Amino acid sequence: MSQQQQSNLTSKFDNLEQTLEVFIENCRHLCVITADFQSNSGLLPPSAGSASSAIAAISGGNSNSQMLLNQKLQTFVQGLLELDQSKHLYKDVKIPLELLDYVDNGKNPQFYTKDIMESCLQKNNQTRGKIELYRKFRAHLLKELGEELPEEIKLYRMIRPLQEEPVSVPTTTGQGSNPGSIAGSQSDMAEK
């Protein structure tokens, strides 16, 4: 990805973040104004059930607070329209459903990334172990077959030579060589 594309992507998400922050702040202001309006006018009972009864009660309030409430409602609607108009910019963004579950459960989204990385590392280590097991099996099989069928193994090795070069796989855990690592097991193969 070029520097320009990276910059455009960053600014696109920065703009979305700012828009959402402003929208959330306007929602908070609207809630405060509505609560103040209700308590000052005494028009809305604590359990006003429907939106139509709330609108009817609000329309009977004093004109200053009504005007302020109307302005905040207009700002709220404008924020929704702005978000709706910018949605086409983010159609290519894919968000894993598991990430949304993390957020819904009140967890930090970075924990999702951490958990996914740990899962990938674990699967990577398992796969490395399987590869190394197959290498050991191949070496042991060739050794045993070499003792039983030396001519066939000699022919096999001419057709498909053994790859004696060790394959270097970087250690991802940073804990050095473990018993299942490739470097340790290749020395085991050399001993056999």
Let me know whether 40 and 89 are in one domain: yes
Question: In the prediction, which pLDDT does 42 show?
Answer: 55
| pLDDT tens, residue by residue, 105-153 | 999 888 898 999 999 999 999 999 999 999 999 999 989 999 999 999 8
Is 98 part of a structural domain of the chain? no
Question: In the prediction, which pLDDT does 141 show?
Answer: 93
Let me know whether 82 and 122 are in one domain: no
Question: In the prediction, which pLDDT does 1 show?
Answer: 59
Structural domain including 160 reads 110-166+178-191
Number of domains composing the chain: 2
Let me know whether 75 and 144 are in one domain: no
Is 152 part of a structural domain of the chain? yes
Which residue do the tokens 């006018």 mark? 41
Question: In the prediction, which pLDDT does 171 show?
Answer: 53
Q: Which of 93, 125, 155 is the last residue of a domain?
A: 93
Gap between the Cα atoms of 114 and 112, Å rounded: 5
Which residues of the chain are modeled with pLDDT < 50? 44-54, 56, 165, 174-192
Is 17 part of a structural domain of the chain? yes
Q: Dihedral sign, CA of 74, 78, 81, 87? A: negative
Q: Which of 43, 62, 93 is the last residue of a domain?
A: 93
